[in-house]
Structure 1
Amino acid sequence: MIGYPEAPKAWWLTRGMARIAGVNLPRAVVEGWLQRAELEDLIARCAACGRGSACESWLVASGASQRMPDFCPNKAGIEALG
């Protein structure tokens, strides 16, 4: 199992945003089309963002959205994986 005990909220938020874009991050690493270091960069970028509360609220209210919010610093990177 891939997880980040040192940054659980950032992991949860990043994985949630990826799901919105149709990307399964653990599967991407296991299948080799995303390197573990690249995933760590996504998590670190999320943890450093400072908009965790806004992100969490957006994810809770996102419903069936298939588009990530523009304020996400990982938007381009995650959408490129989709």
Structure 2
Amino acid sequence: MFGARTLNRHAALMNRMAETLGVDLTEAMAKGRLSSEGWREAVVRCAGCDDPSACLHWLSEQPAPEDQAGAVDEAPHYCNNKLMMARLREELGLAETDAGGRV
């Protein structure tokens, strides 16, 4: 398995990716869109990446989340959490406009 240092590094990397994509992981958890187990699994998927330097490079080319007019549309094709991030973007967008009060 992975050591604490590796998992912490990838948790930070995953959070930066989420911010770049406009995904608020804290909000996703609060709204029941992402469980704590799902978050842990995502960190492990990130830690299992074959080339985290490609992710670091990609993120370095993106504007800081607070400087963006809009979030980047999708994670790079090699991101192990690309599908999860896309799902959360969609679900959080739906949750904001769902008139039925669904969360």
TM-score by length of 1: 0.82
CA deviation map 1:23-52 (0-9, x unaligned): 111222233221000111110000011211
CA RMSD, aligned part only? 1.8
**Structure 1 unaligned residues grouped into runs of 5+:** none
Residue 79 (1) aligns with residue 81 (2): no
Q: Percent identity?
A: 29
* C-alpha distance in structure 2 between counterparts of 1:27 and 1:51, whole Å: 28
Pairwise CA distance, 1:60: 1.0
- Work out the number of aligned pairs and report it: 78
Q: Quick check: which has more Rg, 1 or 2?
A: 2
Pair 1:22 & 2:14 matched: no
AA aligned to 2:9 is K
Q: Supply the distance in 2 between the matched residues of 1:26 and 1:61 (Cα, whole angstroms).
A: 24
Q: Which runs of 5+ in 2 are unaligned?
A: 90-103
